[in-house]
Amino acid sequence: MQLKRVVITGLGALTPIGNNVSEYWKNLEKGVSGAAPITHFDASKFKTQFACEVKNFNPTDHLDRKEARKQDPYTQYAMVATAEAMEDSKIDIEAIDLDRAGVIWGSGIGGIKTFYDEVSAFAKGDGTPRYNPFFIPKMIADIAAGMISIKYGLRGPNFATVSACASSSNALLDAFNYIRLGKADIIVSGGSEASVNQAGLGGFNALKALSTRNDDPAKASRPFDKDRDGFVLGEGAGTLILEEYEHAVKRGAKIYAEVMGGGLSADAHHITAPHPKGLGAIKVMQNALDDAEMKPEEIDYINVHGTSTPLGDVAESKAINEVFGAHAYNLNISSTKSMTGHLLGAAGAIETIASILAIKKGIIPPTINNENFDENIDGKLNFTLNKAQKREVKAIMSNTFGFGGHNASIILKAFEA
By annotation, the residues acting in catalysis are 165, 305, 342
Cβ neighbours of residue 126 closer than 8 Å, sequence gap 6 or more: none
DSSP H helical ranges for 207-309: 245-250, 279-292
Residue 393: exposed, middle, or buried by beta-carbon count in 10 A (0-12, 13-18, 19+)? Answer: buried
Distance CA 289, CA 244 (A): 21
| Closest to 383 in 3D by CA, of 178, 203, 223 | 223
Tell me if 280 sits within 8 A of 407, measured CB to CB.
Answer: yes
408 DSSP 8-state letter: E
108 DSSP 8-state letter: S
Per-residue exposure over 29-45, b if at least 16 CB sit within 10 Å of its own CB, e if not: bebbbbbeebebeebee
Bridging pattern class, strands 236-244 and 6-14 = antiparallel
Distance CA 202, CA 110 (A): 16
Tell me if 4 sits within 8 A of 70, measured CB to CB.
Answer: no
Tell me if 190 sits within 8 A of 74, measured CB to CB.
Answer: no
Per-residue exposure over 94-131, b if at least 16 CB sit within 10 Å of its own CB, e if not: eebebebbbbbbbbbbbbbbbbbbbeeeeeeeeeeeee
**Cα angle, residue 304 at apex, residues 339 and 313 outer, rounded to 5°:** 90
Q: What is the DSSP string of 302-328?
A: EE----S-HHHHHHHHHHHHHHHGGGG
Phi and psi dihedrals of 231, rounded to 5?
A: -85, 165
Beta strands in 76-198 (DSSP E): 101-106, 158-161, 186-193
Neighbours of 70 (CB within 10 A): 17
